[in-house]
Amino acid sequence: MRSIILGEYYRHKNSPNYAWAKVIEVLKPKQHPNTLTCIVVKCEWSKNKGDKTGLIKHFKLKDLIKS
């Protein structure tokens, strides 16, 4: 399993230059609300790094890359 750090910023592999994902929580497989059989990361998704507001999104661990 790849190491992910709470509070750190990552990028989505399909849009590495668009927005930032700040890790809030790591959900194990089948841990509520994660219904998948893989690790899911709950993130605050914002256009600029350090923004105070953003959307809450869930990504598969393998889809996040360190910037």
Residue 3 placed within a domain: no
* pLDDT tens by residue, the chain, 67 residues: 578 999 999 999 999 999 999 999 999 999 999 999 999 999 999 999 989 889 999 999 999 999 8
Residue 1 placed within a domain: no
Our count of domains for the chain comes to 1
The pLDDT assigned to 3 comes to 87
Residue 4 placed within a domain: no
Task: List the domain range (segments joined by +) for residue 39.
Answer: 9-66
Query: Could you give the CA distance from residue 22 to residue 43 in angstroms, rounded to a whole number?
Result: 5
Residue 60 placed within a domain: yes
- Which residue's structure tokens are 């910037």? 67
The pLDDT assigned to 67 comes to 84
Query: Could you give the CA distance from residue 40 to residue 28 in angstroms, rounded to a whole number?
Result: 7
CB 22 within 8 A of CB 44: yes
The pLDDT assigned to 64 comes to 96
